[in-house]
Structures are given as C-alpha cells and as structure tokens.
Structure 1
Amino acid sequence: MPVLALLLIAVVAELAVIIAVGQAVGVLATILLLVAVSMLGVTLLRRQGLRTLMALSDAARNRRDASPEVTDGVLLAVAAGLVVFPGFLSDVAALFLLFPPTRGIVRRRLLRRSAARRQTNPVVDGEVVDGEVVNPNVIVIDSHRED
C-alpha cells in the first residue's frame, strides 16, 4: 500500500510540474522539452550501461569484488525506469542517477548500508535434510534431492 501511495503522489507531482511548465513556456515547448530530456536520458543510459558492463567484465576477469559494478547496474536500471516514466521530476531523478559522480554518492551509501546489514544479519547457506540420531555424539545424515 505505501508503494501505491508513493506512486500516486509521484504522478500528481509530475502532472503539477508539467502543467506549471506548460503555462510558463507553452504546450509545444513543454512537449519538446519532455522529449529532449528523455532522449538525453536514453543516450546517457546507453553510454553508462556499456561502461558498467565493461567494468563488470573487468572485475570478473580480475577476480575482484564486483559489488560496485553490480550496484551501478541496479541504479542504472532504476534510472531507466525513471526515464521511461513521463515527467520532469522523474527525468531529473534519472539524470541524477545517470551522472557518474552523483551515482557514486548513492552507490557508496548503498554499499555502506549493505555492509552494515551483513554484519548484523549474517546469511547462512544450507539445505534441510533428514537426520537420524543413532548416538548422541554422532549424527547420521541421509541426504537426497528431489529435482
């Protein structure tokens, strides 16, 4: 429900800004401005997407942590969604995520937050198997997979 409310607020805000800009500069200029900003966003998205893919490939090739590149990819996906959403506010937010310096600020913050969460909530990978206790000191595990 909160996501729906935020989306509704975003739509109302976008309409208010579009109407205000339309009254200030005219309808045709507003439409041209919306198209121009969206085209700029798509161009930047293509360029930054290719750079991020190359950086991810380089990180995998050199066997180093690819968290920054993966985070950049996620932020670029969010920017792509914002570019597709018509309006000035969403385009400004998308451009904020498309420029490397401002995206870097968001990336660092997300990675710090993620590292803090990993320390407080460790992830344990495991599989549930049936165990039979024959001796209290020895556990016999009969593992089978149902694929």
Structure 2
Amino acid sequence: MAAMFLLWVIAEVAAVWAVASAIGLWATLALLLAGALVGSWLARREGGKAIRAVMETARSGRSPHNEITDSMLVGLGGLLIFVPGFITDAAGLLLLLPPTRKVVRRVWLRRLKRRGPLRAGGFASRSRVIVVDSEVVPDADDRHDPPQRRVIESE
C-alpha cells in the first residue's frame, strides 16, 4: 500500500511538472484551481441528484443498489477533486460524470459479485466458519438476582 501511495505521489508531481513546463506556473495553478471549482460544483449537483434518486427508489419500494452505489462514487469523486493534482482531478471528474460513473459502477459491482455472495455480515469468505459455543455468566458485582438468562445453541 505504501508503494502505491508513493507511485501516486510521483505520478502527480510528474503531471504537475509537465503541465507547468508546458504552460507556466501561474497558468498551472489557475488550471488546478479551476478544476477544483468546477469539480466541487459538479460534485454538489451530482450528489443532490444521487440522493434524490435513492429517496425516490426507496419510496417506490424497489432496492436502491444502483443509486446507493452512484452516491458512493459521487462522494469518492468529490473527495478526489479536493486532492490537489491533475490525476486525481481527472479521476474525480470521471466519477462525477454520469456516463463514466455508470461504467465504473458496472465494473465495480461485477468485481464484487465475483468475490462471493452477499450475506448479512458482508461478502462471504472462502474460509471455513468456526462456531464457538459459550455461556452467559452474571457479573460478580450484581447485588440483586439477575434476570434469567439463557443460551441459544446453534445447530
């Protein structure tokens, strides 16, 4: 993970350096500021749309999986916009634009489905499940009789 972070920082510095060499320092700073302003406006607009879509879908009684995923991707895109750099700005803008966000959502959900079936506690792992039997013991500090407690045994 540290290597990925280092590679990302090197790529961002190289991108800013290349743009600054081509158009100058002040124009590069203006371009970074413009990207942040446009991106924040777009994040606010798309975030509102995504939340309204979740609410409408939930009210209609359908499962809002796609709408929630869109909301998460809009949030990630908005976060990437505020990280300085051209690579993160480009990735953030791609997540904020509806056509590219739809493609990312499909790829992401397909990848999650390959990991395993969805269960109540999250995605099922390929490892064995170990069940530990236990019993409930009242605290020694109880000055009065504790209520009756029982242990429900699993299969």
Q: Same fold (TM over 0.5)?
A: yes
Aligned match for 2:99, one of 88, 92, 101: 101
After the TM superposition, list the runs of 4 or more consecutive aligned residues in structure 1 that deviate by more than 4 angstroms.
128-131
Higher strand share: 1
Aligned match for 2:24, one of 19, 23, 26: 26
Aligned match for 1:123, one of 119, 134, 137: 119
* TM-score normalised per structure 1: 0.78
Counterpart in 1 of 2:15? Answer: 17
The 8 Å contact of residues 68 and 111 in structure 1, kept in 2 or not, is answered as no
The 8 Å contact of residues 78 and 96 in structure 2, kept in 1 or not, is answered as no
Q: Is 1:142 the counterpart of 2:124 in the alignment?
A: no
Cα deviation, 1:28-82, whole Å, max 9, x if unaligned, reads: 1000000001111101100100000000000110110111011111111211221
Cα deviation, 1:14-39, whole Å, max 9, x if unaligned, reads: 11111111111111100000000111
Using the aligned pairs only, state the percent identity. 38
- The Cα shift of 1:11 comes to 1.0
The 8 Å contact of residues 129 and 142 in structure 1, kept in 2 or not, is answered as no
Higher relative contact order (CA closer than 8 Å, sequence separation 6+):
1
Aligned length: 130
Higher helix share: 1
**Structure 1: 5+ residue runs without aligned partners?**
132-140
RMSD: 2.3
* TM-score normalised per structure 2: 0.75
